[in-house]
């Protein structure tokens, strides 16, 4: 058995163990950190959603790193990855809409909604921080 294949099997097994550990953390951490949430019927702690998103990001990052490493170890996978990225780049940069003598690609069409979402998130974060600082300094409780 080639040495690279052994390393690939070990990498996949290690990633599966890390994935299982992250899943266990996701199940056990709310029980350890949130015993007060069990007293109220149907109430979930606020941080539970953030924990789920963080764990999902870690799992996706883990498997993405494993896939990229594996595709760099084997020539067939490397050529398939390069072919996929090249064809995706060609598709996303190819003009699909023309308006007033200017052509727009899918990337051009995605820039505007992405800018709106980024601005919305920035304004939401700024207002939340401002509320916390101003209302906290004034001694006003939230929701009043």
Helices 3-33, 47-73: inter-axial angle, 10-degree rounding:
180
Residue 133: per-residue pLDDT: 84
pLDDT for res 131: 84
Query: 104 near 95, Cβ under 8 Å?
Result: yes
- Collect the ranges in the chain with pLDDT lower than 50: none
**Which tokens hold the place of 55?**
């764990």
- In the chain, where are the structural domains located? 1-93, 97-144
Handedness of CA 73, 57, 124, 111 (dihedral sign): positive
**What span, in angstroms and rounded, lies between the C-alpha atoms of 23 and 28?**
9
Note the pTM of the prediction, 2 decimals. Answer: 0.65
């Amino acid at each position: 058995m080639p040495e690279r294949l052994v390393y690939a099997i070990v990498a996949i097994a290690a990633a599966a163990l890390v994935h299982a550990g992250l899943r266990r953390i996701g199940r056990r951490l709310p029980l350890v950190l949130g015993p007060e949430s069990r007293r109220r019927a149907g109430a979930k702690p606020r941080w539970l959603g953030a924990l789920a998103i963080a764990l999902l990001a870690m799992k996706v990052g883990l498997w993405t790193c494993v896939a990229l490493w594996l595709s760099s170890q084997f020539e067939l996978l490397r050529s398939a990855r390069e072919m996929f990225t090249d064809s995706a780049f060609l598709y996303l940069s190819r003009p699909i809409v023309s308006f007033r003598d200017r052509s727009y690609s899918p990337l051009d069409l995605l820039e505007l909604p992405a800018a709106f979402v980024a601005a919305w998130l920035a304004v939401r974060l700024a207002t939340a921080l401002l509320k916390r600082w101003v209302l906290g300094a004034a001694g006003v409780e939230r929701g009043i």
